[in-house]
Structure formats: structure tokens, C-alpha cells
Structure 1
């Protein structure tokens, strides 16, 4: 599957996300795209928050789809995952044509380093890449006390030159097909330092588990794992309905691992809009390849010797 942007074609952009179709990041992105009057904008996004679901898909059951009113766009809310939404949105089963570009976001919280593996936002773009379509995942580094809803509009506007450039390259048939782009926007988006090409780093959180007596204990983690939120609301479970044998455990962050250098998270912290090309798979480091190149031929010999 591919796309064809020509001189007379009004490009079609499909927008999805993992925060849900009502999330301010998605609504701001759609509003900015519509305001340019350059694109046909389609939306196919989860009907509720589906953060940190990675690239999971709905397989055994049907998904439900409901049309939603978003000014200037044709929009549907879907009961599935971000990957489901992209897959459905590009399939021609829901919309009459295949989009020229898929954008997933804008996520409330950054998606850098190892968090990319967990991210439903990145999965929404990756699913398009799997199907031969150019795509972007967009995430804004929301910070409690420093960020506000208007920052999503600024973030969307800051990404417009990238959208323009990609569509121009598609028109000229010069855009690369072997990657998709993961873009993170800094907290102080109004004063960002410009675009910076980066590589996926190894930043992330060391996670642990803590026993709790209710789902509300310890707070509720929203959006991606790097998001901060002003909301402390969560649904209290009825502990009386839990049997004596049922134990509750919640994840907790113990420490962060952050890299220096030309990596995505480090550059984001410095105030850059990071642009990170990603592929479908994560490849092992070269030193691991070299080690196993020597190790594998001896596996049979060692197994035979241990059986004696």
C-alpha cells in the first residue's frame, strides 16, 4: 500500500492517538491542520484513554465505531487500540480513500528512549509504517505547573513545517520509505531551540510494585509514563467485593535512567524539538551480534558434552 500526492491532489491526513478522541492534544492538532485549509482531515481514534498499550491489537472481537462531531474533520471514535484505529482508518473499510499521511498524537507526555516500546502513540504511527504509509508520532512533554492546554496548539503549529516538508517530498517521490518519525516537543514549546535529529536512547524508569488495598491508593497513572498531571481523581474499588485471596499491586517509579549525548530525551531536556527516525524493529547492539556469532556454533557441542 502506498500514497500518491500530485499537483491537483488535496492531501488527506489521518489523525489518531492513544489519549482518546476527546484529548486536548488530538483536538488541538486537528484544529491546527483544519485551519490551514490545505488538507482533508480524517480522525480515527480510541473512544477512551488507551495509554501504554504498546502495539496491541483487537483480534478475537469486533470493535465498535461511532461518528463524532469535530469541526472541519470526519471523525470516528473506536473501542479498540491505537494500532486498531490506524489499521481501520487506512483500510478503506471506514473511509473511502487511503490517507497520504498518518499522524498519531499529540500525546500528553514525552515518548523517548525505552518508553517508545510501551507507547500507544508511537504504535499508531508504526502501524501505518507497517502498511507502507508515511507517518509521524507527536508527543508534548507536559509538565505539571508549567504547561497548559494552549501549549498543544503551539506544539501542533511547530510541527506544521515538518508536515509541509513531508508532503512535498511525497509529491516528488523522494521521501524515504524505510522509517517513520517520532517527534517530541519540549515543555517550553513557545521558546523551543529548533528541530534536532536524534537517535532513540535508553532512558526510562526502573519500575517496582507495591501492594495496595484499593486501585485509588497511590494515585492513577495517566497517559504515558513520563506524563505529569494535575488530576488526582481515580475510581475507588469496592474492597468488600474482593475476596480474601485477591491481592492488589500497583506499579511505582523507583528511579529514572537518563542518558547524555545526542539521544532523544537528553536533547528534549535541552529544549529542542527532537526528530527521531524509527524502524519496525529494535536491533541488537553490534557487540551482542559479535558475541553470539562466536557463541552459537558451540551450542550443540556443549549440549552434547553436558549429556555425558
Structure 2
């Protein structure tokens, strides 16, 4: 009887965007395997794919290479997190569709507008697109405070959620119209419990700074270029242009918020649990504005042309 129960364990597939060798993924897999509650599959990028959002590989083939991870069947894939999930649930790589897809554990939180950039969240969203229950997990890593052991603590803190979700799936009572995004606070040992939240508007404001150029490879502007796209030197005349300029992103501030949002709950020490959907509809005041604005567009265009 115990053997039958063991064989009836649900199947969990793990992916991420930090790459298959990332400590967050490895810690999550170890916790899942050591619990002896699940069959564990891994289908994750073969290198870091952070902040690739929901990009997919379309025109080229991707490779899948077996990787040795104790207690799991694992493949490293030369694609994006969304590619990995899509391949992993397709039955082309594994013989069956997993009961649950978990994407993570990401190094760094995924709250607010950062959810749009996140390859971790995209790994879960791709499963949701295909009707497979999923969740993404991120740990609010802070340099100087966090250490690699915190990933295992984060995985253990989320294990009750994972187990409960699979129980609901088995009972066919789990909703398929959303997926869960989970953010674990930096001080995971002393977290305050789970809090249901909504996606907020927090974001790190980014800018660009020039860090170099290939001036030696520069070339004189042609007459045609000068006529159609003039570029002036600091002395006021036309000069050489480099083959390329080098720019790098830099942090220039942040946008935070108050209220019962994912970011606020995380900063207060809670494990933020946010149900997400595929769409990002405009808020009601935006809908109301454009409802009044759109009928007059053609009339405005006609009158302004006179």
C-alpha cells in the first residue's frame, strides 16, 4: 500500500531564468526531492536568461542536454524560460505532462512592473497559457545580508503552498484562470507568514550612460548621409562617426508605493502570494477616458487637416 502511494506521487517540473546551475533552482529541487512527495523533472535554460520576459525561440531549433541532478530527471535547454516550459509540458521531451510547473527560485524579487520583465514569471505564465497549473518563486536577495543557504529556506517556506496546490489539483478544485507569483522576504527565517497580494506598480527606474565607442573604426559621413541624417562634431562641422557606441544601463531611482501590494507585503516581511493572469487590462479610469475619446478621433483628424 505504501509503494502504491509512493508511485502515485504528483509530478512537478522545475524551470527558471537564472540557468540550470543556479543555486536557487538547485536548492528548490533538493527540497522537493528530499520531501519524497513528488516526482521531479527539470527543464531549464543552459545559461542565464534573466529579464528576457516572455521571449521565445521561433526560427531556430533548441538543444536539450541531459544533466545529472540527484533525484530528478533534468535537461539543460538552449532556449528561454518560456521555451523550457513549453518543451517540458509538450510530451516531446518527457513522456507525460507534469501536474505542476514551478519556476524559480529566482535571485531577487519579482514585484510590481518587474513582473513584465521577468523570465522567471514567464516560465510559469507559459504553463498557464497551456492550461497547466504553475507558480513562480523569487527570493528577495540582498547583497551583504543574504547567503546561498537562504534559497533552501525559501523553498521550505513555500513547500506548504506547493503541497496544498497539488492537493487542490488532485481534487480538481484548483482554479485554472490564474497562476501564482510568490515573493519570499530577505529575512526568510523570520517571515511573518503568507499574505495574499496584488501586483503593484513598483519599479527600479533605469537610465543609460555611454561607456565607450569604437572611434578607431569610425568612418567619414558620406554626402548622402550628411544630407539625410546630419551628424555634427562638437566644433560645429561634420566629423567621423564610430562604428558603434557602447551604452550601459544604470539605476536612477525607484518607484515604490503604499497599500496591500506585492512589494509592500514583501518589505513588511511577509511571503507575498499574488494570483496573476495573462492580460494587463487598463484601469477603469483609462477605459472611461478612451471610451469618450475614440469616437471623436476621425472628426478631429478631418478638422485639423483644414
Give the alignment of 1:153-164 within 5 angstroms.
153-164=152-163
Cα pair 1:7 1:171 within 8 Å, conserved: no
- Give aligned pairs, total: 279
- Match for residue 272 of structure 1? 270
**Equivalent position SS for 1:259:** coil
User: Which has the higher Rg, Structure 1 or Structure 2?
Assistant: 2
Verify: 1:285 aligned to 2:283, yes or no.
yes
Query: In the alignment, which residue of structure 2 is the partner of 1:247?
Result: 245
Q: CA deviation at 1:7?
A: 11
Task: State the TM-score, normalizing by the size of structure 1.
Answer: 0.88
Unaligned 5+ runs, structure 2: 219-241
SS in structure 2 at match of 1:271: coil
Corresponding residue for 1:307? 305
Residue 205 of structure 1 and its aligned partner are, at CA, apart by 1.4
Task: Tell me how far apart the structure 2 counterparts of residues 80 and 262 of structure 1 sit (CA, whole Å).
Answer: 36
Alpha-carbon shift at residue 121 of structure 1 (Å)? 0.2
Q: Distance in 1 between matches of 2:298 and 2:116?
A: 34
Match of 2:234 in 1: none
**Which blocks of at least 5 consecutive residues in structure 1 are unaligned?**
1-5, 215-238
User: SS of the residue aligned with 1:163?
Assistant: helix
C-alpha change, 1:188 and 1:242, in structure 2 (3 Å) is farther
CA distance in 2: counterparts of 1:88 and 1:36, whole angstroms: 26
Q: Secondary structure at the match of 2:291?
A: helix
Answer whether contact 1:42 1:73 (CA < 8 A) is retained: yes
Q: Which residue of 2 aligns with 1:61?
A: 60
TM-score after normalising by structure 2: 0.88
User: What is the alpha-carbon distance in structure 1 between the residues aligned to residue 6 and residue 46 of structure 2?
Assistant: 35
For residues 29-178 of structure 1, what are the structure 2 equivalents within 5 Å? 29-178=28-177
CA contact (8 A) 2:210 2:246 kept: yes
Could you tell me how far 1:264 is from its partner in structure 2?
Answer: 0.6
1:19 is matched with which residue?
18
Aligned-pair Cα RMSD in Å: 1.6
| C-alpha distance in structure 2 between counterparts of 1:7 and 1:279, whole Å | 33
Structure 2 contact 215–243 (Cα < 8 Å) conserved: no
Residues 241 and 18 of structure 1, relative CA distance in 2, 3 Å threshold: farther
Aligned to 2:195: 196
Over 3 Å counting, the alpha-carbon distance change for 1:44 and 1:8 in structure 2 is closer
- What is the CA-CA distance between 1:245 and the residue it aligns to? 2.5
For the 8 Å contact 2:11–2:100, the answer to whether it is kept is yes
How many Å apart are 1:206 and its aligned residue?
1.4
Q: Distance in 2 between matches of 1:95 and 1:13?
A: 12
Please state if 1:294 is matched with 2:292: yes
CA pair 242-273 structure 1, distance change in 2 beyond 3 A: farther
C-alpha distance in structure 2 between counterparts of 1:296 and 1:285, whole Å: 17
- Alpha-carbon distance between aligned partners in 1 of 2:147 and 2:85, rounded to the nearest angstrom: 28
Greater CA drift, 73-82 or 297-306 = 297-306
- Deviation at 1:307? 3.0
